[in-house]
Amino acid sequence: MSTILVAIAGYFLMMLVVRVLTRRPGAQMTLFEFVIVFLMGGVIILATVGHDRSVTNCTIAVMMVGLLHRTVAWAKTKSDTLGAIIDGTPLVLVRDGQVQDEVMHGMRLAKEDVLAASRTKGVHDFNGIQYAILERNGGISIIKREEEPGTGETES
Amino acid sequence: MPDAPEYKPVEDSVPKVDNAVAVGENLSFQRKWWRFERAVWVFFGLIILADVAGAFGRGPVAKAQQQTDSLTLHYERIERTTTPSTMTFQFAPSAIQQGHVHLFVSQSVIKQLGAQRISPQPEQSILSDGGITYTFPATSANALVEISLEPALPGVYHMETGVPGMQPIQARVVVMP
């Protein structure tokens, strides 16, 4: 019983911490952030299983977290607000070559992060970007300035 | 022969509203979220400061001491579940009678606070009303007895201890999850 309660608490605590860490722990994860996320998971699992390291207890904990995750995923499909709270919304970082400073600052992103994503599309400066979008999964999509109408490309 | 399916060429894969890309951005929500984020980090900071101080156990605020004429008790008023700690009893000379000291501890120390080990080993343990009375041989003043604790469950527990026939010590111990 305590394993289930701690697993539920641990799941939502991790969700909160990862969410307020901004979106960088997603697709833009650096090696250090990768270590941080594993460290947090390791600490949570210690409290979840406690002294009872039996296969039964660990199986219950894994099943509980899996069930929770599936339930939350289902709830997100039913409520856009819940989806926005849990995953956030896409954010425009660059619009028509203009960097959106408020969003960049709020998401703690550097211009180099956007340029790094744009280079993979063959765009070397902000003038070549029509839209740079920080997606909900942490990836940056680049839409190049259109040479002709209808030739926009996206990339995550 | 069935009609061949009709295909339409894709002219633009990016959805647009008013000739601008519709990405689903919600900046007003995001501004609220940034404020919430700041509040959460301030809250986390306060929690960590409180923990360093010992508000959740294992720190200066958690340590406590109570004293009577016969006994001084050092304990932790805030314990943590399944985390070992030590409760120390220091006897005054007045507690030593005929080369022995007697120590009463309530059942809550044994059960809820999870007494694991008592040092030194008592010469005698007698079950009494609501607890156990231990007898130790003692020849010098300031004799020390230690009980190792490891609470199994969180909660708020009341304990009582003392030298039988003398003023008891009562304390409340909070066991954090």
Higher pLDDT, B140 or A28: B140
Cis peptide before B120 (omega within 30 of 0): yes
CA–CA dist A16, A8 (Å, integer): 12
Q: Collect all residues of chain A within an 8 Å Cβ-Cβ radius of residue B23.
A: 90-92, 131, 133
Query: Residue B21 and residue A89: Cβ atoms within 8 Å?
Result: no
Task: List all residues 6 or more positions away from B74 whose beta carbon is below 8 Å from its beta carbon.
Answer: B63, B64, B65, B87, B88, B90
pLDDT of amino acid A25? 42
CA–CA dist A83, A86 (Å, integer): 5
Q: Collect all residues of chain B within an 8 Å Cβ-Cβ radius of residue A143.
A: 14, 21
B60 vs A: CB within 8 A: no
pLDDT of amino acid A28? 58
Neighbours of B163 (CB within 10 A): 24
What ipTM was assigned to the predicted interfaces of this complex? 0.75
Residue B2 lies inside a defined structural domain of this protein: no
Query: Residue A90 and residue B12: Cβ atoms within 8 Å?
Result: no
Residue B5 lies inside a defined structural domain of this protein: no
Residue B171 lies inside a defined structural domain of this protein: yes
* A25-29, A98-102, A138-142, B129-133: the lowest-pLDDT one: A25-29
Task: Tell me which DSSP letter residue A142 carries.
Answer: E
CA–CA dist A132, A152 (Å, integer): 12
Tokens of B145: 């007895």
* Span B50-84, pLDDT tens digits: 999 999 998 999 999 999 999 999 999 999 998 99
Mean pLDDT of chain A: 84
Tell whether the model's pLDDT for residue A72 goes beyond 80.
Answer: yes
**Domain ranges (residues) in chain A:** 2-87, 91-144
- Residue B102 C-alpha from the chain's centroid: 29
* Span A54-65, pLDDT tens digits: 898 888 888 999
pLDDT of amino acid A17? 87
- Structural domain for B134, as ranges: 62-176
Q: How many distinct structural domains can be found in chain B?
A: 2
The angle, 0 to 180 degrees and rounded to 10, between the axes of the packed helices A2-20 and A31-49 is 160
CATH code given to domain A91-144 = 3.30.240.20
Are residues B66 and B23 part of one domain?
no
pLDDT of amino acid A156? 46
Contact A85, B29 (CB under 8 A): no
Closest Cα in chain A to B44: A17
Q: What is the CATH number of the domain that holds B172?
A: 2.60.40.680
Q: Collect all residues of chain B within an 8 Å Cβ-Cβ radius of residue A21.
A: none
Are residues B67 and B34 part of one domain?
no
pLDDT band with cut points at 50, 70 and 90 for residue A26: very low
Are residues B99 and B40 part of one domain?
no
Are residues B40 and B23 part of one domain?
yes
Higher pLDDT, B98 or A32: B98
Residue B49 lies inside a defined structural domain of this protein: yes
Q: Could you tell me whether strands B78-80 and B169-176 are parallel, antiparallel, or unpaired per DSSP bridges?
A: parallel
B29 vs A: CB within 8 A: yes
* A151-155, B17-21, B102-106: the lowest-pLDDT one: A151-155
Residue B6 lies inside a defined structural domain of this protein: no
